[in-house]
Amino acid sequence: MAVYKQTYKGYEGRRTASWSRFLVLTRYSYARLFQSKFLVLFMAVCLFFPVGCAIFVYLSHNSPVLDVLRLRSGAMPEVDGQFFYVYCMVQGTMAFLLTTLVGPSLIAPDLANGAMSLYLSRPFSRTQYVVGKMTVLLALLSLITWVPAALLYLIQVGCVGWSWAQSHAWLAGSILVGLWVWIVILSLIALALSAWVKWKIAAGALILGVFFGGAGFGAAINAILRTRYGSLIDLTQVIHTIWADLFRHSLVVTDLSVEEAWSTLGVSCALCLWLLAKRVRAFEVVK
Amino acid sequence: MQAIIELAGLKVRFGKQEILKDLTIGLSGRTIGLLGPNGAGKSTLIQTLLGFCPVAAGTATVLGYDIRRQTREVRALVGYMPENDSFIANMSAVSFIRMMGELSGLPADAALERAHEVLFYVGLGEARYRTLGTYSLGMKQMAKLAQALIHGPRLLILDEPTNGLDPSARRRMLRLIRDIRDAGQIHILLCSHLLRDVEETCEEVLILKEGQIVYYSDLVQEHKNNQRFVEIETSGPDRGLAEALVDLGCTCTAQGAGRLKMVVPDHFELRDIFRVAADLDLPLRRLNYRRDTLEDIFLKAMEA
């Protein structure tokens, strides 16, 4: 339809594949998010530690450089489960901070502006909507968590050789599972809270509250009731238990067993999905 | 003619409350008006057709597709303009409309081209790069219409499109609806409280009350066969005027306090009314000759 004609004309052209449409939401969300210079800067800051780790891994296997720096190769810590456990702690915290920055603005504005009926009146399902929004977080968090970790692993393999890769194959699996579990739970909590409160500032505060408030409240329950089950609501302790198990780090002692930690994560995921299913709707029935 | 919307014993419940009660009808007009008082179930019917509300019993088809089993196909063919504010405040109109087009399956470049076109079409061409949050109410309504048109739907569902518009914006909206109707490519389902809007744009009208169909009318046919009416008001009680007019072959309804409404049969001379009144020595205070309007139809349906 030419602009000057100003008459209505239908569309008979090609249509995209239905399965790929969730990526439209992801693309537009990125376009909006990266208008913020602060976010770009924060993403860059999040990569400082992995870059430092990469330098460390390279140096620890490079005797001439160590000699120049007057360091002994035996004095350098080993790249093992403990090394990646520390990596997960640092990058896991950065991932959490990035989630509090990005997560609240994903669903809350759509609900506050009543845009949900526009999305869902199209050949576009609620599942696709949630997957589209979740992909925004998963991809961002991947960039600062398991992707650099996998690169570190590969650098280590490159420096030491395939024998190390064979004896430490479990470590690759632990890196992927440990960090994916963390970014999935972070994304689900951020989306669920963003959908629940509709107001992004409140959603951001709630995400912080779930982790810090949960830790404080859990410790209080443990102290008052003289139990250890208060730690079940402390998600940081839950994930540390899982990481310690995955990275075979025997020095980390938590109040929870591994089974309890996995069960807590499962329940948390189920709760978030239930909340999303309740809130991501085209309309609300007011009782 | 294939029915655009076909309802067969459609029931919708929210909890224990039945919102739509056994609706059965086939609608095939190019523009269908959906009328009813608040809480009649108009918006619920629209949301059910879009697959938002679960169907408790019965079936419904839109353009031949079952709303329960073929929801995706139905949504691909429908453009929906909701009643309430629905947009993303910090997006420009053109990127918002483009995104909606892409979600409907248009490739990115085609969606961008169509977004510009529909925004010009609805009269927002000059304001298309402004963020939606800065739009006036009338402009937001137009933007909502644009997003409903971007993917070239075959059925356009408009929920209160003239809500909150000033007279000139309302006229512009109605002109657009008529223009879309006359282009002949889209069927329109228009839900409105404003009878005048429906009368100006629709060919068929469906009136709902308490979740039930109380009236259905083909307005085009109705206008063709429109019966003439005379409203009579007498000084004091009508003293048998209604009976005398019925004897002359008219259909008469007493509306109380000396007021009558009568359907004038063909070949009836209006002077006969004066003659009968003179015979009864009954002074007439007012005699108003007119045709039935949608408002009359609506009020009659509400009284039923």
CATH superfamily of B226-303: Reverse transcriptase/Diguanylate cyclase domain (3.30.70.270)
Read off the pLDDT of each residue in B211-226 and give the average, rounded to a whole number: 78
Q: What is the DSSP letter of B265?
A: P
pLDDT of residue A259: 94
- For position B84, what pLDDT does the model report? 84
Percent of chain A with pLDDT over 90: 68
A24-48 pLDDT, tens digit each:
999 999 999 999 999 999 999 999 9
Chains A, B: CB contacts within 8 A come to 123
Q: Which residues of B touch A24 (CB under 8 A)?
A: 99, 102-103
Yes or no, beta carbons of B76 and A122 under 8 Å apart: yes
Distance in Å, alpha carbon of A71 to nearest chain B alpha carbon: 55
Residue A132, min C-alpha distance to chain B (Å): 11
Q: Would you call B103 an interface residue with chain A, using a CB distance cutoff of 8 Å?
A: yes
* pLDDT at residue A4 greater than cutoff 60: no
Name which CATH class applies to B5-88+152-223.
alpha beta
Q: Give bridge partners of residue B216 from the DSSP assignment.
A: B206
Contacts of A7 in chain B (CB under 8 A): 121, 179, 183
Instruction: Collect all residues of chain A within an 8 Å Cβ-Cβ radius of residue B100.
Output: 118, 122
Instruction: Write the secondary structure of chain A as one string of H (helix), E (strand) and C (coil).
Output: CCHHHCCCCCCCCCCCCHHHHHHHHHHHHHHHHCCCHHHHHHHHHHCHHHHHHHHHHHHHCCHHHHHHCCCCHHHCCCCCHHHHHHHHHHHHHHHHHHHHHHCHHHHHHHHHCCCHHHHHCCCCCHHHHHHHHHHHHHHHHHHHCHHHHHHHHHHHHHHHCHHHHHHCHHHHHHHHHHHHHHHHHHHHHHHHHHHHHCCHHHHHHHHHHHHHHHHHHHHHHHHHHCCCHHHHHCHHHHHHHHHHHHCCCCCCCCCCCHHHHHHHHHHHHHHHHHHHHHHCCCCCCCC
Any CB–CB contact under 8 A between A139 and chain B? no
Average pLDDT for residues A66-75, to the nearest whole number?
74
| pLDDT tens per residue, range A77-116 | 888 889 999 999 999 999 999 999 999 999 998 998 889 9
Higher pLDDT, B294 or B201: B201
Predicted local confidence at residue A150, as pLDDT = 96
Question: Which residue type, as a one-letter code, is found at position A29?
Answer: S
What is the mean predicted confidence (pLDDT) over A118-134?
94
Say yes or no: A11 contacts chain B, CB-CB below 8 A.
Answer: yes
- The answer to whether A73 touches A160, Cβ cutoff 8 Å, is no
pLDDT band at B142 (very low <50, low <70, confident <90, very high): very high
Supply the mean pLDDT for chain A. Answer: 90
- Determine the pLDDT at residue B280: 82
Q: How confident is the model at residue A286 (pLDDT cuts 50, 70, 90)?
A: low
Q: Which residues of A touch B82 (CB under 8 A)?
A: 114, 117-118, 121
Q: What is the pLDDT of residues B23-50, one digit of tens each?
A: 999 998 889 999 988 888 998 999 999 9
Q: What is the pLDDT of residues A174-209, one digit of tens each?
A: 999 999 999 999 999 999 999 998 888 899 999 999
Per residue in B91-123, pLDDT (tens digit) is: 999 999 999 999 999 999 999 999 999 999 999
B185 contacts A10? CB cut-off 8 A: yes
Q: Tens digits of per-residue pLDDT, A241-262? A: 999 999 988 777 778 899 999 9
Q: Where in chain B is the domain with CATH 3.30.70.270?
A: 226-303
B112 in contact with A, Cβ within 8 Å: no
For A70-74, A101-105, A122-126, B58-62, which range has the lowest pLDDT when averaged over its residues?
Answer: A70-74
Helical axes A146-160 vs A48-60, angle rounded to 10°: 10
Contact A121 B100 (CB under 8 A): no
Predicted pLDDT of residue B292: 64
A121 in contact with B, Cβ within 8 Å: yes
Would you state the pLDDT for residue B225?
A: 62
3-state secondary structure of B43: helix
- Which pLDDT value is given to residue A200? 85
Is A197 in contact with A206 (CB distance < 8 Å)? yes
Percent of chain B with pLDDT over 90: 47
Task: Inform me whether the pLDDT recorded for A3 exceeds 90.
Answer: no
Question: Is the per-residue pLDDT at B74 higher than 90?
Answer: yes
Interface of A with B in 15-34 (CB under 8 A): 15-16, 18, 21, 24-25, 28, 31-32
The type of residue at B195 is L
Q: What pLDDT is attached to residue A141?
A: 97
Mean residue pLDDT across chain B: 87
Mean pLDDT across B179-202: 88
Q: Which residues of A touch B114 (CB under 8 A)?
A: 11
In chain B, ranges of CATH 3.40.50.300 domains: 5-88+152-223
Q: Do A13 and B110 touch (CB under 8 A)?
A: yes
Give me the pLDDT at residue A287, please: 56
Is A109 close to B110, i.e. CB distance below 8 A? Answer: no
According to the model, what pLDDT value does residue B57 have?
A: 94
Percent of residues, chain B, with pLDDT higher than 70: 94
More confident site: B66 or B268? B66
Q: How far is the C-alpha of A247 from the C-alpha of A89, rounded, in Å?
A: 12
Q: Give pLDDT tens digits for B238-285.
A: 778 888 888 877 888 777 777 888 877 767 777 888 888 888 888 888
Q: Is B54 on the interface with A (CB under 8 A)?
A: no
Whether A224 has a pLDDT exceeding 70, the answer reads yes
